[in-house]
Amino acid sequence: MSASASSSPSSASSPSSAAASPRSTSSTPSGTSSARPTATLRPQDLRLDPKFVITDVPQDRHFYWTVDEMIGAPDGCESLPRRSSSFEPLLDSPRSSPTVERTMWVVNGQIEGPLIEANQGDTINVHVKNNLATGTAIHWHGMAQNGSLWADGPNGVSQCPIPPGGSFTYTFTLTREDQYGSYWWHAHRGATYADGITGPLIIHSVNDPLKRGEDYDIDQILMVRDHYHEMSDTVVAGLRSPQGWDGSLAAPTPKSGLINGHGVYNCSAAPLGSACTQQAPLELEFPPNKLVRLRIINMGTHALFKVSVDEHALLVIEADDTPTHAAGVHRVPINAAQRYSAVLNTGSDTSGDSFYLRAQMNTQCFAAALGELDPQALAIIRIVGEGESPSTETPSSKDWGDDDLLGSCVDLDDSLLVPRIAIDAPVDVDGRSLFNSSITATSDLSFRWTLNNVSFDAFTYNPLLFQVARGQTLDPAVIANIVVDGVQVHDIIINNIAGADHPFHLHLLKMFIVGRGEGVLTTEAAAGLTFNTTNPLRRDTLNVSPGTHVVVRVITDIPGVAAFHCHIAWHQAAGLFGALVIQPSRISFADIPQEAQALCDAGNIMPGESYNTTEPARLMMRKRLELGSSLFPPSA
Ligand SMILES: [Cu+2]
């Protein structure tokens, strides 16, 4: 028996709390005559409602979304459109105009899209209408998709894009027994989530050891994101060309950092002709004497943020969706796509106090020039007692003195993050495989990231899942792939041989992190090593630094084609993408609904997206990759 809940555009949820709001009203663009609608913030949705009923009675939940092109100025900088939004072929000169374009692609008109909140066991139905002039696809980061492989979302892996003007419904049931915690959703075509198609996804459970009233009193979503002023398709086209983007072959440096969709761009650096409003920082209001759970989600495409609150240590209690024993830190380093819950204690604060929350990018993780970036995004936290009004003064709080804002882009130390629900990884493994990450150059000296010496170019109209359903074997010269038949305990050794730090994400399965080390590890050498199987951290996104390796142990108990890729979207879009094929003999078209198959019938509406899909071009690419690996210096 299941009840039904829905949130449709016409019955948008009521602002139950206006506790987080930008003081400045300048997010409405000025200085432009564009008739296109403007994307807005809905910060009131980001404090979770304590009245949400946490239950093990499953419900069907329906969400009605439209994806639209709008203008937006989340960091205050907004300017005149430079080019149409339809997909255009490679540009001659990727940076051809002095003005900064900021068209946004957003869901339901929101900068940082609608919250999905549900209980473990519920069935989520997201009805998506695509109003863009290009295709889109949406991924639900961290979902097991048990029985709904076609709904995972990555374009070229589990589906064809939702065409312009088309509609598609994603349906998936949250059946995994530990499928609860902090997640997010985002577009999964190219790097287009950089353009705004992102939002939080929070799942509760009666079995969650983290409980309101015990571990925390207030549940606040805190999204951090690096923000760019150009459309991602334009950046990717540049990065894939010999000219690179903005004079560099390396992943670009963002223009600003956003906290809950709001940022502060230094207008004195804005290009001529652009409209720029110097914004004030976001403000968050909390009562004294409370434990505030900050669900930090990095929805960015590149930066490692270090999140801190002046003069308040934070207690980390969740890593991705794994509840952990509390670990006290001054700063929470969070790589792209990762999540942490960090508890802020306002027990020593009194009404009227104010201090800064800082989300500071580690600039040493950027290989391209910093430009006008201010790496520090700020929000003001104001302590407000019941019936009182917030102070208006500028905080005088001081940043932690720790000299740890730079340095490597590594994750928060795994050994600090001990899962509350202790699960030992199986000691014996059935098999071991490699993903070797590196870089190469093509013969025209454009630049690609590789896994197992292959750079993946999305097959927009021939998803990997469909190939497997057809009984085909994925071509290892086209996509690096590991095939595991049956339910196995399998180790994946991720060697980062050369290049940059990569926050790798595995779809569908959680990974036990059983080993990290220096240098390259072979499967033979791994067979002779002992790994940490005693309640190791389980997560879905982890960083691997160049010159090091990580060993993750997975249990392949759900059939699927699980994408494995770097979550720096610029690296992913330049080829750093592989797949774990699980129990292929159990995957057939009977598992893929007609509606999902029909998305592939429309023909290729985005010729610029399906690079090298013809056989001769593929062979040429393979040849180039064989030639190329030593042509490019490991500087990106
Ligand atoms: Cu990467």
CA distance 475 to 180: 35
pLDDT tens for each residue of 569-610: 999 999 999 999 999 999 999 989 999 999 987 655 444 444
- The tens digit of pLDDT for each residue in 68-125 reads 999 888 888 764 333 333 323 223 333 333 334 478 999 999 989 999 999 999 999 9
438 CA to centre of ligand 1 in angstroms: 10
**For the segment 397-448, what is each residue's pLDDT rounded down to a tens digit?**
999 988 788 888 999 999 999 999 999 999 999 999 999 999 998 777 788 9
Coil, strand or helix at 625: helix
What's the CA-to-centroid distance between 135 and ligand 1, angstroms?
24
Q: Mind listing the pLDDT tens digit for each residue in 444-461? A: 778 899 999 999 987 778
What is the C-alpha separation between 248 and 302, in angstroms, rounded? Answer: 15
Query: pLDDT, tens digit, for every residue of 118-172?
Result: 999 999 999 999 999 889 999 999 999 999 999 999 999 999 999 889 999 999 9
Nearest to 326 by CA among 416, 415, 414: 416
Q: Ligand 1 centroid vs 588 CA: distance in angstroms?
A: 32
Section 347-356 average pLDDT? 97
Q: What's the CA-to-centroid distance between 574 and ligand 1, angstroms?
A: 9
For residues 54-63, give the mean pLDDT.
98
Give the residue extent of every domain in the chain: 431-586
Percentage of the chain lying above the pLDDT 70 cut: 84
- In this predicted structure, the answer to whether residue 623 has a pLDDT above a threshold of 60 is no
> What is the CA(491)–ligand 1 centre distance, in A?
21
For ligand 1, the distance from its centroid to the CA atom of residue 525, given in whole angstroms, is 26
Please give the distance, rounded to the nearest whole angstrom, from the Cα atom of residue 485 to the centre of ligand 1: 28
pLDDT at 447: 85
**Phi, psi at 597, each rounded to 5°:** -65, -35
- What number is the average pLDDT over the span 600-623? 42
Cα(441) to centroid(ligand 1), Å: 16
The alpha carbon of 547 and the centre of ligand 1 are apart by a number of angstroms equal to 14
User: How far is 63 from 126, CA to CA, in rounded Å?
Assistant: 5
368 C-alpha to ligand 1 centroid (Å)? 14
Contact predicate 416/327, CB 8 Å: yes
CA of 458 from ligand 1 middle (Å) equals: 16
Is residue 23's pLDDT more than 80?
no
Å from CA of 571 to ligand 1 middle: 5
Confidence of residue 634 (pLDDT cuts 50, 70, 90): very low
In Å, the largest CA–CA distance within the chain is: 71
Asked whether the beta carbons of 257 and 224 are under 8 A apart, the reply is yes
Residue type at 497 in one-letter notation: I
Residues 353-405 have pLDDT tens digits of 999 999 999 999 998 888 888 999 999 999 999 999 999 999 999 999 887 88
Tell me the pLDDT band of 186, cut-offs 50, 70 and 90: very high
Give 10's pLDDT tier (boundaries 50, 70, 90): very low
Cα(256) to ligand 1 centroid in Å equals: 20
Q: Measured in angstroms, how far is the CA atom of residue 585 from the centroid of ligand 1? A: 31
Alpha carbon of 164 to ligand 1 centroid (Å) = 29
The mean predicted confidence, pLDDT, of the chain is 85
Distance (angstroms) between ligand 1 centre and the Cα of 503 equals 6
Cα of 554 vs centre of ligand 1, distance in Å, is: 21
> Rounded to the nearest whole angstrom, what is the distance from the C-alpha of residue 493 to the centroid of ligand 1?
16
Euclidean distance between the first and the last CA atom of the chain, given in angstroms as a whole number: 54
- CA of 328 from ligand 1 middle (Å) equals 28
Q: Which tens digit of pLDDT belongs to each residue from 518-528?
A: 999 999 999 99
DSSP 3-state of 245: strand
pLDDT of residue 602: 62
Distance 21 CA to ligand 1 centre (A): 33
According to the model, what pLDDT value does residue 372 have? Answer: 84
Whole-number pLDDT of residue 603: 57
Mean pLDDT for 43-57 is 92
- The one-letter amino acid code at 458 reads A
Radius of gyration of the chain (CA): 23
The fold adopted by the segment(s) 431-586 is Immunoglobulin-like (2.60.40)
Q: Strand 103-107 relative to strand 59-71: parallel, antiparallel, unpaired? A: antiparallel
Looking at residue 78, its pLDDT comes to 62
Mean pLDDT of 42-67: 93
Centre of ligand 1 to C-alpha 257, Å, is 19
Calculate how far, in angstroms, residue 32's C-alpha sits from the geometric centre of ligand 1: 36
Ligand 1 centroid–CA 232 distance in Å is 16
Distance of CA 96 from the midpoint of ligand 1 (Å): 27
User: Where are the extended beta strands (E) located within 456-594?
Assistant: 480-484, 489-496, 502-506, 511-518, 538-539, 541-544, 548-555, 560-566, 577-582
Ligand 1 center to 252 CA (angstroms): 12
Between CA 356 and CA 340 the distance in angstroms is 19
Q: If you search the block for the tokens 């801190």, which residue do you land on?
A: 308
**C-alpha 190 to ligand 1 mean position (Å):** 14
For the segment 258-280, what is each residue's pLDDT rounded down to a tens digit?
Answer: 999 998 888 887 777 667 778 88
How close is the Cα of 177 to the center of ligand 1, in Å? 31
Shortest CA distance to 319 belongs to which of 415, 411, 223, 417? 417
Separation of 573 CA from ligand 1 center, angstroms? 10
Query: Ligand 1 mean position to 227 CA, how many Å?
Result: 17
Q: Which of 395, 325, 323 is nearest to 357 (CA)?
A: 395
In the reported structure, the alpha carbon of residue 23 is separated from the centroid of ligand 1 by a whole-number distance in angstroms of 35
Residue 543 CA to ligand 1 centre (angstroms):
9
Query: Cβ distance 516 to 539 under 8 Å?
Result: no
